[in-house]
Structure 1
Amino acid sequence: MKKVFFVLSMLFIATITNAQDKFFTKTGKVSFDATATKSPENITGVNKSTTMVLDTKDGNMQFLILMKGFEFERALMQEHFHENYVETSKFPKADFKGSITNNATVNYTKDGVYNVAVKGKLTIHGVTKDVETTGKITVKGGKISAFANFSILLADYNVSIPSLVADKVAKNAKISVDCSLELLKR
């Protein structure tokens, strides 16, 4: 009986310890700017319902972005984005699976701002590409925030820009990530 109790106790502790290594959000913010240099309009979209999970133990992370969640200044831009560019009905989500390659330099138990290198695979519009970028992890009061900025070439993800609006939409989209994470409680 003591052995069974010991084994169950160890499993419970392992589960709790594992859960304490994971942080998440369902309200992460991902924005993009695809405004061409001479465009009279800002081609920007914001999604405030991005899901992110970060395992602080090994630096593995994953993002899930529902494309319908992107909002624009003008309804027509939003319609074109969903129907013509990213084809949300065919490709309803984008995701990133990767890791912080220098995770050992981040002390998740000590308040501070840590520069990180991130490497992984980004899938948009059904196309998966390798992505490497830098970012920051901020630890404050037991909470973690993740920030990153990077650019993607829209053509790499088979996102076509019609010639009619080619002077307004940049070939490169600037992506910004801003996620405030909390401990995942199971």
Structure 2
Amino acid sequence: MNKLLLLLLSVYSIGIVQAQDQYIERQGEITFFSYTSVENIEATNNQVLTLLSSASNEIAVRILMRSFVFQKSLMYEHFNESYIESDLYPEATFKGDIVDFDADLEGEQTRIIKGEFTLRNITKPIEIKATIVKTNNGYMISGMLNVLIKDYDIKVPPILSPNIAKNIQISFKFQYVPHENQK
């Protein structure tokens, strides 16, 4: 509970919180997939915290790296200890703006989200094509992006290099509901 409170306060410090039109997702889903000739690597994280301001079109996402679940415990260990170094870099973040977002539009809209993704304390600008659906009490946002491991200084031992993809496919799905602290 203390970790969730600390995490929520950290997201607030990103600066998108306003008094109204706030939406939150505490159990967002992020999946990553890496194809290799030896074995595909896939993991899912269902503990992603994200905030959306429909008034300013801003979105913030906080991902705890140790919350990814792998099919094999050895993959989890290698991911956290050797590649991401989760003890040094426990989280990844994204902060961005949804371009031309119409908060009142019923149905589905496809939009570009421009922002900055930080992984291993390296921040890079990214653009994400996302699908946004207005629901009865919030929004559902989903999409996919590709991340190059070299952009975030993820070191792969030369002997394993042929077995690790250079490009990681990341998918996400967030179901936002009104933030309960709204007045």
| TM class by smaller structure | 0.7 to 0.9
Separation in structure 2 between the aligned mates of residue 68 and residue 147 of structure 1, nearest angstrom: 22
C-alpha separation in 1, matches of 2:33 and 2:157: 17
For 1:65 and 1:54, how far apart are their aligned partners in 2?
15
Query: Which whole-Å CA distance do the structure 2 matches of 1:47 and 1:111 have between them?
Result: 29
Match of 2:70 in 1: 72
User: What residue identity is the alignment partner of 1:133?
Assistant: I
Q: How many angstroms apart in 1 are the aligned matches of 2:115 and 2:104?
A: 25
Provide the C-alpha distance between the structure 1 equivalents of 2:151 and 2:145, rounded to a whole number of angstroms: 14
2:15 maps to none
The AA in structure 1 aligned to 2:109 is Y
The structure that has the greater radius of gyration is 1
Superposed displacement of residue 185, structure 1: 1.3
Cα distance in 2, alignment partners of residues 116 and 21 from structure 1: 19
Among 159, 167, 174, the alignment partner of 1:164 is 159
Give the partner amino acid of 2:164: V
**1:23 counterpart residue number:** 23
**2:83 aligned with 1:88, yes or no?**
no
Deviations 1:25-55 (A, max 9, x none): 110001111222x23x221111100001000
Q: Matches of 1:126 and 1:75 in 2, distance apart?
A: 25
Q: 1:124 to 1:140 in 2, by over 3 A?
A: same
Q: Which residue in the other structure is 2:135 paired with? A: 140
Root mean square deviation of aligned Cα: 1.2
Identity across the alignment (%): 28
Aligned length: 164
**Residue 43 of structure 1: which of 41, 44, 50 is its match?**
41
* Cα deviations by residue, 1:41-71 (Å, 9 ceiling, x for unpaired): 2211111000010000111110000001011
Q: Distance in 2 between matches of 1:128 and 1:117?
A: 19
CA distance in 2, matches of 1:42, 1:73: 11
Match of 2:111 among 102, 116, 137: 116
**Please, which of 98, 122, 141 is the counterpart of residue 127 of structure 1?**
122
- Work out whether residues 20 and 183 of structure 1, in 8 Å CA contact, stay in contact via their aligned partners in 2: no
Distance in 2 between residues matched to 1:62 and 1:99, nearest whole Å: 9
**Unpaired stretches in structure 2, ≥5 consecutive residues:** 1-17
Amino acid at match of 2:151: D
- TM-score by length of structure 1 reads 0.84
Following TM superposition, by how much is the alpha carbon of 1:88 offset from its aligned partner in structure 2, in angstroms?
0.1
User: Match for 1:33: what amino acid?
Assistant: F
Work out the CA distance in 2 between the residues paired with 1:162 and 1:102: 43
